[in-house]
Structure 1
Amino acid sequence: MTRFAFIFLMVCFSQWSVAQKIHAHNDYEKPEPLVAAIRNQAGSIEADVFLVDGKLIVAHDKSQIQPGRTLDSLYLKPIAALFGQNKSRQSASGSVSSDRKYTFQLLIDLKENGVEAIEQLQKAVAPYRTCFDRAMNPVAIQLVVSGNRPPIANWVDYPTYILFDGRPSELYDDETIKHVALFSDTFQTYSRWNGEGEMPEKDRETLKRFIKRAHGQNKPIRFWASPDNPNAWKQLAKIGVDFINTDKVEECAKALK
């Protein structure tokens, strides 16, 4: 069975019942990249990317770079294959799942050479444009650039199908904010809680103020380096965190049902 066919079968037999959105942190390091995240209805899937000799290579750091592990082979092409297999009379452009209510954002964490990497990203996406452009297909996968992002002033110059991962410390004008997909920050800025027991009330209120401010700008939020256990997931969801950052996607999905 081909990898694309395997992914398709896994999606068809998935149960899309998770209410809270999950951010599949470092998805590419898992035994089933993309497959497990889709099976558990992750709302956000993360891939760290380096630009190497004109190719977008998925790896956590330079020492782990393997030429065959490209963004195209691990994510873009398999996603496009799913869209092709989920076409119908009602949906000529297809969807990533037989359940057309499900879509997600592919968060691409550029480790370096942001400007050049985005140029290559546009070329890589071009053959699959209807799968990654919501102006062409409302259930397309949203591309979000994080990490080594280009200067904020230049975000408005990029195609609308490429959005950016914002930061609460940054200032955006009315036009630039339209190119921000979400706000992300390290959990450690707001709390040192380890996820055990109840979150300290002071930390809870600090987090809720930040969440309220982000939601006031109609942006979801994500905290990286947050406690990664069932108790923490539930408490973070309860205070309104939109994307629960986790390395344990399946366990998190079950805990949040």
Structure 2
Amino acid sequence: MTRFAFICLIVGFSQQCIAQKIHAHNDYEKPEPLTAAIRNQAGSIEADVYLVDGKLMVAHDKSQIKPGRTLDSLYLKPIAMLFGQNKNRQATSGTISKDRKYSFQLIIDMKDNGVEGIRELEKAIAPYRTCFDRTMNPAAVQLVISGNRPPVPNWVDYPTYIQFDGRPSELYDDETIKHVALISDSFQNYSRWNGEGEMPDKDRETLKRFIKRAHNDNKPIRFWAAPDNPNAWKQLAKAGVDFINTDKVEECAKALK
């Protein structure tokens, strides 16, 4: 069975494993890139990307780049195939799974030239536009640029199907904030808690103030470098964190049910 066919098979069972608020960190390093994250209905999936000779290559470090592991082969094309598998009279442009309420954001962490990388990304998604543009298909996957992003004032120049991963240190005017998909920051800037036992009250209040500020702007929150265990996931979710950053998607999905 081909990998694409296998993805199509398992997504049919995704609605049996409903989980919310999961960010699949470094998804491409897992045994089942994309597949496991969708099966567990992760709301956010991350891929690190380098631009090499005009191709968007997926790898954690540049030294780990391997031929054939492109953004197109690992994510864009398989996503488009799933949309093609899930077309019907109610969803003529398709959906990512048989559960039409489920979709996710694909966070592309640009590791080098973000401006050039986005140009190549626009070319790459052109054949699959209805799968990544919510003005054409409300069920489309939202593309979000993180990492090496263009200058903030230039975000308004990009099409709406390309959003950006914001930072709490940045200031956005009324137009720019429309291009911000979420606000992300290192958990270590707020707490040194290791995820065991109870989060210190002082740290919890610090988190809640930050979360409230982002939520007042109608933006969800994600922390990277946060403790990655069941106790931490539950406490972070209870504190109001929208996307729980994890390398253990299936375990996290079960814990958050």
Match of 1:79 in 2: 79
Deviation per residue, 1:85-109 (Å, 9 max, x gap): 0000111100000110000000000
Q: Is the 8 A contact 2:17 2:39 kept in 1?
A: no
Partner of 1:49 in structure 2? 49
Unaligned 5+ segments in structure 1 are none
The residue number in structure 1 matching 2:108 is 108
Residue aligning to 1:239: 239
Q: Secondary structure at the match of 1:124?
A: helix
Number of paired residues? 257
CA distance in 2, matches of 1:102, 1:16: 12
Counterpart of 2:88, as a letter, is S
By how many angstroms is 1:18 displaced? 3.5
- Stretch moving more, 116-125 or 9-18: 9-18
Query: How far did 1:67 drift?
Result: 2.0
Q: How many angstroms apart in 1 are the aligned matches of 2:14 and 2:99? A: 10
Q: Separation in 2 of the partners of 1:18 and 1:89?
A: 24
Q: Provide the residue aligned with 2:3 in structure 1.
A: 3
Does residue 1:195 correspond to 2:195, yes or no?
A: yes
Deviations 1:32-83 (A, max 9, x none): 0000000000000000000000000000011100121000000000000000
Match of 1:134 in 2: 134
1:4 deviates by 1.2
Distance 1:106 1:24 in 2: 10
What is the CA-CA distance between 1:15 and the residue it aligns to?
3.2
**Partner AA of 1:123 in structure 2:** K
1:17 is displaced (CA, Å) by: 4.8
Q: Is the 8 A contact 1:182 1:222 kept in 2?
A: yes
Q: For 1:169-248, list aligned pairs within 5 A.
A: 169-248=169-248
> Is the Cα contact below 8 Å between 1:88 and 1:94 reproduced in 2?
yes
Tell me the distance in 2 between the aligned counterparts of 1:14 and 1:173: 39
Question: What CA deviation, in whole Å up to 9, does each residue of 1:149-194 have, x standing for no partner?
Answer: 0001100000110000000000111100000000000000000000
Instruction: State the alpha-carbon separation in 1 of the partners of residues 205 and 2 from structure 2.
Output: 49
Name segments (4+ residues, structure 1) moved above 6 Å. none
Q: Is the CA contact 1:20–1:237 (under 8 Å) kept in the aligned structure 2? A: no
TM-score by length of structure 2 reads 0.99
Q: Deviations over 1:224-254 (max 9, x none)?
A: 0000000000000001000000000000000
TM-score normalized by the length of structure 1:
0.99
Whether the 8 Å CA contact 2:83–2:93 is kept in 1: the answer is: yes
Q: How does 1:27-38 map to 2 (within 5 A)?
A: 27-38=27-38
Give, in angstroms, the shift of residue 14 of structure 1. 2.1
2:23 alignment partner in structure 1: 23
**Between 2-11 and 219-228, the greater mean CA deviation after superposition:** 2-11
CA distance in 2, matches of 1:19, 1:249: 10
SS at match of 2:237: helix
SS in 1 for 2:106: strand
Counterpart-to-counterpart distance in 1, 2:129 and 2:226 = 34
Distance 2:95 2:87 in 1: 7
Residues 19 and 254, structure 2, Cα contact 8 Å, conserved in 1? no
**Aligned equivalent of 2:147:** 147
Name 1:40's counterpart in structure 2: 40
Structure 2 unaligned spans of 5+: none
Q: CA deviation at 1:16?
A: 4.7
Question: Given that residues 23 and 46 in structure 1 are in contact (C-alpha distance below 8 angstroms), is that contact kept between their aligned partners in structure 2?
Answer: yes
Identity %: 84
Q: CA deviation at 1:19?
A: 4.7
Q: For residue 253 of structure 2, what is the aligned residue in structure 1?
A: 253
Distance 2:16 2:97 in 1: 10
1: CA distance, partners of 2:223 / 2:43: 14
Q: Is the 8 A contact 2:76 2:125 kept in 1?
A: yes
SS of residue in 2 equivalent to 1:15: helix
